[in-house]
Amino acid sequence: MKIIKVVNQQAGGQQGSEIFEAALNNGAKTFGLATGSTPLSTYQHLVASNIDFSKTVTINLDEYVGLAYDHEQSYHYFMQTNLFATKKFAKSFIPDGMNANLEQAIKNYDGILANNPIDLQILGIGENGHIGFNEPGTSFDSHTHIVDLTPSTIKANARFFENITDVPTQAITMGIADIMAAKQIVLLAFGRQKAQAVKAMIEGPITETVPASVLQKHVNVVVIIDDDAASLLR
Ligand code: PGA
């Protein structure tokens, strides 16, 4: 893992967008995207740039189950608002958490992933070490699947909803094997609340208890962290 320390999230976003640009210049055709507060500064830098992504495809990690696409907390809405409205891509895929047939939605997404190998995947990390919505205990061999969100994740996400009971309890997510299949991965983490997960990811044992620890096995990972997120590293 290559670790890049930055002074703050804005600087991290600058680094993130430079990695996107370098990948594009190296022929990347498919970008794996993430939602949440972490990738926002990267998207802001991409939006402000004149980098042309119009011939590339995006594939998002995950989506809530049962949250309408125009709901402000849906990941469809997030991507539209924070990136797609201003940056044009040839095609963008996000898991279909509104599909009445979730088994079909899973099959469709696995097909999309098979047809569009990801060149660069951007990731955040959960306070419990999750990547995508792959919660602790998820098999490293997993592909697209439905997850029951852990109480810790529901609590962390409750800040975005009026009521904790409004937070969806399930999500559809790419699996860990799908994430590991990306040619390059850039994981960003900012703030002290991520320090424990960052330490476990980088210095801890490779274990399904800490999903992000699997990244130790990937040959091309860049971790972009601020001082707070790095504060527990040896
Ligand atoms: P955050 O979420 O970027 O909103 O902190 C990251 C994650 O849970 O993967």
Q: What is the pLDDT of residues 24-35, one digit of tens each?
A: 999 999 999 999
* pLDDT tens figures, 58-99: 999 999 999 999 999 999 999 999 999 999 999 999 999 999
Rounded mean pLDDT, 137-156? 92
* Closest ligand 1 atom, residue 191 Cα: 5
Place of tokens 């790095």: 230
Instruction: Decide if 128 is catalytic.
Output: yes
Pick the range with the lowest mean pLDDT from 38-52, 110-124, 151-165.
151-165
Q: Judge whether 218 counts as a catalytic residue.
A: no
Residue 36 Cβ < 6 Å to ligand 1: yes
Q: Which residues pair with 3 in a beta bridge?
A: 223
**Any idea which residue has 């852990």 for tokens?**
150
pLDDT, one tens digit per residue, over 180-209 is: 999 999 999 999 999 999 999 999 999 999
pLDDT of residue 150 exceeding 90:
no
Query: What is the pTM assigned to this prediction?
Result: 0.95
187 - beta bridge partners? Answer: 123, 223
Cα-trace Rg, the chain: 16
- pLDDT class of 157 with cuts at 50, 70, 90: confident
The answer to whether 162 is a known catalytic residue is no
